[in-house]
A and B are shown apart, each in its own frame.
Chain A
């Protein structure tokens, strides 16, 4: 079946502009995660959604970052007033409580470059 999809695959924006990144999880997956990967680094957790529960926003680096999810479907990550340090690959993952150990399946990522 279809995996996790993300759009756009690449985004170049000017410093100070807002950007919106989209994630379509695997159908039926109740949990959705956003991570950030800076060049040559591991992944940093940003935010987690589980069903209709309040999201876990503990990883968001500043109030310029926000995310929404409609039910158990699409999620958008918004970065306002982008800064150069926001340049990274933003990865979305989803998981199902029916899977083993909440294994997370990752999308291809959105590469964000802030100039």
Chain B
């Protein structure tokens, strides 16, 4: 079964703190995506990770991919209130060109001033 599991599902953190969101997936893939969703809004692409060891950073967010461990992390550094949103990881398991994505349930992040 193709599964993508995120943890935690809910995260409340204080401004200025660091934290990591984990994304585990069930079978081989080297295509993993992170998205952000604000309440009532659509998904905004954050990172595209396409190879083992890939690391990408944008502002206070850094994403990495370990394909051998089937694990991706989204690290938040010195959180600010504007980062409050739901974060989804999504994996392309297709391997055959359909590129459909399997999504995790999302991590709802609340940054408290």
Contact = CB atoms under 8 A, between A and B. Distances in A.
Interface in B33-52: 33, 35, 41-45, 48, 50
Interface residues of B, number: 24
B104 A101 contact: no
B50 A48 contact: no
B106 A109 contact: no
Contacts of A56: 98, 100
B106 A42 contact: yes
Contacts of B4: 42
Contacts of A35: 101, 103
B48 A100 contact: yes
Nearest to A102: B99
Interface residues of A, number: 26
Interface string A25-51: 000000101010000011111001010
Given A33-B99, A103-B48, 16 more contacts: A33-B100, A35-B101, A35-B103, A41-B106, A42-B103, A42-B105, A45-B102, A48-B98, A50-B98, A59-B100, A91-B42, A93-B43, A100-B50, A101-B33, A104-B101, A108-B42
Best-surrounded residue of A45, A105, A108 (most CB of chain B within 10 A): A45
B105 A101 contact: no
A100 B48 CA distance: 8
